Structure 1
Amino acid sequence: MEINAPSGGKSSVVLDQAPCAFCHSSKQSEGTGSFVAYAQGKEVTGNVDDFSKVIHVHLKCLAWSPRIYFEDDLIQNLESEIVRANKLKCSSCGKKGAGLGCCVKACQKTYHVPCAYGIPDCRWDDGFLILCPNHAHHKFPSEQNAKSEKKITQKSISEHLNLSSPLLNVGKDLVFCGSGLSAGDKFTLVNFASSSGSIVFKNWRDNVTHVIAGTDSNGACTRTLNVLMAILHGRWILTMEWVKACVKAGHLVKEEPYEVVLDNHGSRGGPKAGRLRVQNKAPKLFNNLNFYFIGEYEQAYKADLVNLVTTGGGTITETKDQLLTSRSNDADTKVNVKQVTLVVYNADFTYNSEFEDESSVEASRLEAAEDVAQEIRCRVVPHIWILESIACGLLVYNLL
């Protein structure tokens, strides 16, 4: 199971008096990570007094709990994992709350994450698994099919994740956000941010300075909302190699050599184009464009599209009546309108009725959009045009 690392290397919540629900310690160290708080399935970033029940946990205690994951931004199995952990005594300190067990099934040893972190002979795997000292000679599942076996010792994981003193607090003005990262890379990013005095968020926020994106063998990142928002805001979109280079150098290195240039749909140049657009104070990508979304969309997905459009400088017309009234007023006042209106139809045919084939649904949606466009004399685009334009940093398809 992939563990989605939680957001935030820091929190605005005051946690000094609240112990971790797993290890029952109020201290913070390299082995614990910083504190985070959860209520009603979401991370609390405001006043905890607004919630009747708040759970405080160390970041690493949370990330290494084997049954916790995130779905639609809601944490899953947090309370049940706390209950399970608090039935188990730590093989190191003897106290309860030890939810991290040796991955050898027959082994009965369990640990608090910070206790295991302090045992030099424990072995750690990027899949959020550990081997106790008695079974350190065993292979992790990820190693079983490897051509060459390379043991990941406590020393090596410390060298990989923890930063030397010259890097501490140099990133106090940096705010990171991950995109498409593996479980191991998420954990590495959180450690890097914590050690350098910076912050990590799971989802996009306007103060993010760097998006760290997972890439495939071609160097392509997944096209996510975090990546698209970073392009529109002109922020850095970098590979994990930049983080590793900073760790190795002991200081922040230049970003340009590590900038992502390609996404998994084949679009190129968006990150750099977005940066230069903002740097040169050029008009926003969708400046002077008005969008009217026609047809059915999944509600959350449409909200994301609207957010992207407005972030990119575009405007939204909510209803057809408003669109017709606006065009009529423009004609009556004989205003030389430079704004271009686009009717946007949903080109995602994944969730159609089993009684309709894709081609008929596409034809129906396109026809409905064209009818409106003809009535008000504007143009038609599929919703994908918005995503492609952002990903390339320019208006694509020669539709305008």
Structure 2
Amino acid sequence: MEEKKDEKSFSIGRLDIVDLYEWKNSKKLVYKTYFQRQFVWKEKDKKDLIDTIMQGLPIPAIFICDAGTDYTTLSKKYNVLDGRQRLESIFEFLENQYTYKKRYFKDFTEDEKKVILNYNITLIQMYVDPDDTERIKEIFKRLNKNAYNLNKMEKQSTQLVEYDYMIIAKIVSGIVKFENIESYLEEIHELFSDDEDKDEDSVEITEYSEMEEEAIPDEVKEICTWDNIEHINALLTNNMIFSSYDRQRQVALQYFLNIFTCILKGEMINRNVSEKTIIELSDVSKETIGKKLIECNKACEKILGIYEDIDDFWKNKTSFFTLCYVMTMTKSEKTTKEIKDLLEEFKNSNSEKWQQYYEASNQGVNDKKVRETRVELLKNIIA
């Protein structure tokens, strides 16, 4: 009896960018988004990708699967399972939607264009029925876990996304564009609702299948107006404090949650905000959260001014944490220049208090007592 051979579950191939762009224009590439992770790529991220390509360095593979065959035109379509942001960033550059080193693609020399168009991208085709949502869901979960392990913040931010406090934090920190929040909620819940990989100290989360698909509350939308969050968002999304990699790993989101939780509680918390606290703070009145968000945004407007011309020490994550908390809570009347001068004078003093602050900024930075030390020392300087 002939032994049955195992069917391949995937195959690996390669295509030049010019071929992928032809696929895009002939509608061979489709985005049945399923469970795409919706990081918000800033223009800097896109330019970094183009820079990688121009230098001939590798980028991660694109995962695709069959999306059906058109038996009239005798052509196949492919759905992008993972890598949509990379592909769209490349296509946007080819269509002159942003510049690289101050030049559009149309302004490149022929040799430079060849470097881009002939760049080879690895394609991994998964053999799965395009309508087999459960199988695709499983593949996507494994892709994202194997590509790099989700850190605790990434798990928290998806598992707790039905709670108002997490929704607000993700909008403020630029993880999700406000206009896309509804579809993001639906997709992310389907991906993680049955995830059994929980921390021992995690709380039980109601499964999405048991919840009604309600619109985002109007109160949350009112809180997250651009006027209320623009300066916080600027500090969390530019490269002054948090790198592109930090933002992708949701480190900026973690910092905002930690800082704003301290602001709401009026005291330092130990290490990172817990799932239980995120759930509890979702029940705080939206009027209170909105008021504190406005105060934090005003403080961040001053911080942006301070950061225009100051020693990089004050732009690290730890000092940003302390500055944001102190300036929000004290509502200092001092001007941006006055605060900047005081911080520089403090740093250059080499006093005992400066040594205390410096040590508290470099050792055990997330410990509650160390945070309190930094806050007290800085409050005495700029309040």
Shared fold per TM-score greater than 0.5: no
Please, what TM-score do these two structures have when normalized by structure 2?
A: 0.32
Question: Higher helix proportion, which one?
Answer: 2
For CA contacts below 8 A with separation 6 or more, give which structure has more relative contact order.
2
Question: Higher strand proportion, which one?
Answer: 1
